[in-house]
Amino acid sequence: MTGPAIHNARELEETALRCGLLPFFDCGVELSIEALTPPEYWFREGVEGPWEWRMEAARRGRVAYGKLFRGKAGLVSREWYPDLANYRREGYDFDARYEDGKAGYREKCIMDVLLGEGPTLSRDLKRLAGFDKGGMKGFDAAITRLQMSTYVTVHSFDYALDKQGRAYGWGIARYAVTEAVLGEEVTRAAYGRSPAQSKARLLERLRRLCPHDPEEALEKLIR
């Protein structure tokens, strides 16, 4: 994909809104934040780049941020998230998905905490859901599956603070059920279509964005 380069948080958000579906890194198609951001903005001390910009995008809520493409991070606009949710949820709310054996016990433990506590920092979520020392393993895989299936998304990021109260590090993700971030009016907006219809709409959008990529790569991106 060719397009305007991304130099700041506002341009990142505008690109995500324009594209609708925007992977962070290479996911097998030409479309990504990595491809559109000049190298001087990546991991340079004293220079804000995509890792900082994503935090502002998540906080503003005009786009969803999380592990949404092949288990990797990306952004999806409120316009296109309904079809992604409709396709990936396959008509299930989470409880029905769990009862039918399509979601595991680890995911249920995480969902139970988020539904009871609201937006929760990842380190607290691990502890409350039973993944702390001596507890269950596999938190990262479970929270990724919940994001990929669109039941959970990143609400915001908090910085760790040193003894002087100064922020440091890359930011700690605060997770929430997706409805608490985007609203049910977004997550359920495409429920009048079949999952197959939503898949067709998503693929058509990607064909316009990535005209040189093979169909197989586009399907893998939204699977």
Q: Flag whether 29 is in a domain.
A: yes
Q: Note the pLDDT of residue 14.
A: 95
Q: Would you say residue 196 lies in a domain?
A: no
- Note whether residue 122 is domain-resident: yes
Count of Cβ atoms closer than 10 Å to residue 79 Cβ: 14
Confidence at residue 43, expressed as pLDDT on a 0 to 100 scale? 78
d(C-alpha 103, C-alpha 142), whole Å: 9
From first to last of the 223 residues of the chain, give the pLDDT tens digit: 556 899 999 999 999 999 999 999 999 999 999 999 999 998 777 778 898 898 888 888 899 999 999 999 999 999 999 999 999 999 999 999 999 999 999 999 999 999 999 999 999 999 999 998 888 999 999 999 999 999 999 999 987 666 666 666 677 999 999 999 999 999 999 999 999 999 999 999 999 999 999 999 999 999 9
Q: In this structure, is residue 1 part of a structural domain? A: no
For 147, the domain range is: 9-190+204-214
| 197 domain residue, yes or no | no
Number of compact structural domains in the chain: 1
Q: Is residue 19 a part of any domain in this protein?
A: yes
* CB 114, CB 125: distance < 8 Å: yes
126: Cα within 13 Å, side-chain hemisphere: 15
Residue 161 confidence (pLDDT):
65
Residue 17 near residue 64 (C-beta atoms within 8 A): no
The maximal CA–CA distance of the chain, rounded, in angstroms, is: 54
Tokens at 81, concatenated: 């998230």
Q: Which pLDDT score is estimated for 60?
A: 86
pTM: 0.92
Residue at 21 is within a domain:
yes
The confidence score (pLDDT) of residue 210 equals 95
Q: Is residue 3 part of a domain?
A: no
Phi, psi of 188 (to 5 degrees): -110, 5
